Amino acid sequence: MLLFSSLNPIAEDNMVIGTQLDLSIEVILENNPEIINRYNLFSNDHVATLRVIQDGLYNQLNMSTTLQTRNIKRSLIQEIMMSSTSDTTWDIAPPSQSNLFDEIKRAQDIEIKQPINLRLSYSFQREGPPGNQQVTYSKSVDVTALPDSELILQSLHDAVDPQRGCQNQSDVHFTIKNMYYPIINLFENGDPEPIIVSNQSIDVSISKSCKIIDNGSRSYWEITQSQFNLRDMNGTVNDNGLIFVPVSEKITPTYLGNYSILGFYTIIVYAVGTILRRGKFTFANF
């Protein structure tokens, strides 16, 4: 069992060194469900906080008593908070904006109910292993199936309306409840896997703001949550951006090349066995 545990003496840490967060609208064409048109709203690789998990969040998440997390070595757990503001302004070509606006109106039409999804994607960058340094997980939510779908669709309608002027303030705001779980397993190989714990799903607040700058308008999206806060050494809350708690699996050392840890140990056992057999044969001849 030591071979696959975090106590493996030759395994190396593989902690997260960067994160990217994206939010997009997906439109599934009703006459061809295999086609999905995607419109990007938010993109951000600005990390506000990235460190080994501190007592505050560790205790808020009850990680020492929760069955799925209580045996995880704390040095392998990190806490990440993303900046709440998109790295770029929302710049969409007028024809595409008109198309998106029409699709949302179709979703609002009770006779048509055009499917509209919101997809939250988050990627984690690591040092290794080679070829799998970046891993991504995404969660899609069907807006039309939510209990408050009418409110959310109306907010999206207002946000993408080509005729809506800039009000120099947050002009839309809505919340997607239970959108994602913050604790996520990052394996040496394979896709990330959230650790689903009851009462730990996070509600995501989404808003679009517009500012008037130098007689022009600039629009941008923000994504926040208010359930968990990360504080600095002075106790100040850093931000209210989305948080992630990656649990990073240790990896095969790079000096083993293409050999896995299991392969490495197999070679060692075979070599030792060969030496012992040769030793027994030598002693038998005396």
Are 6 and 105 found together in one domain?
Answer: yes
Domain enclosing residue 13, as ranges = 2-251
Are 193 and 260 found together in one domain?
Answer: no
Are 282 and 180 found together in one domain?
Answer: no
Measured distance CA(121)–CA(124) in Å, rounded = 10
Number of domains in the chain: 2
Q: Of 15, 1, 4, which Cα lies nearest the Cα of 74?
A: 15
Please state the separation of Cα 268 from the chain's center in Å.
38
Are 80 and 17 found together in one domain?
Answer: yes
Are 157 and 119 found together in one domain?
Answer: yes
Are 62 and 153 found together in one domain?
Answer: yes
Measured distance CA(126)–CA(12) in Å, rounded = 12
Q: Which residue has the higher pLDDT, 113 or 205?
A: 205
Lookup: tokens for 154: 């109306």
Would the pLDDT of 232 be above 50? yes
Q: Which residues share a beta bridge with 213?
A: 216
Are 283 and 157 found together in one domain?
Answer: no
pLDDT for 278: 60
Measured distance CA(284)–CA(252) in Å, rounded = 39
Would the pLDDT of 281 be above 50? no
Least confident of 41-55, 132-146, 203-217, 260-274: 260-274
Measured distance CA(44)–CA(122) in Å, rounded = 10
pLDDT band at 43, cuts 50/70/90? very high
Cα 95 to Cα 117, 251, 262: the distances in Å are 20, 47, 55
72-94 pLDDT tens trace:
999 999 999 999 999 999 989 99
Are 19 and 120 found together in one domain?
Answer: yes
Lookup: tokens for 106: 């179709």
The mean per-residue pLDDT over the stretch 178-191 comes to: 94
pLDDT for 3: 41
pLDDT for 4: 40
- The identity of residue 98, as a single letter, is S
Q: Which residue has the higher pLDDT, 238 or 60?
A: 60
Q: Mean pLDDT in the chain?
A: 84
The mean per-residue pLDDT over the stretch 164-180 comes to: 80
Are 69 and 119 found together in one domain?
Answer: yes
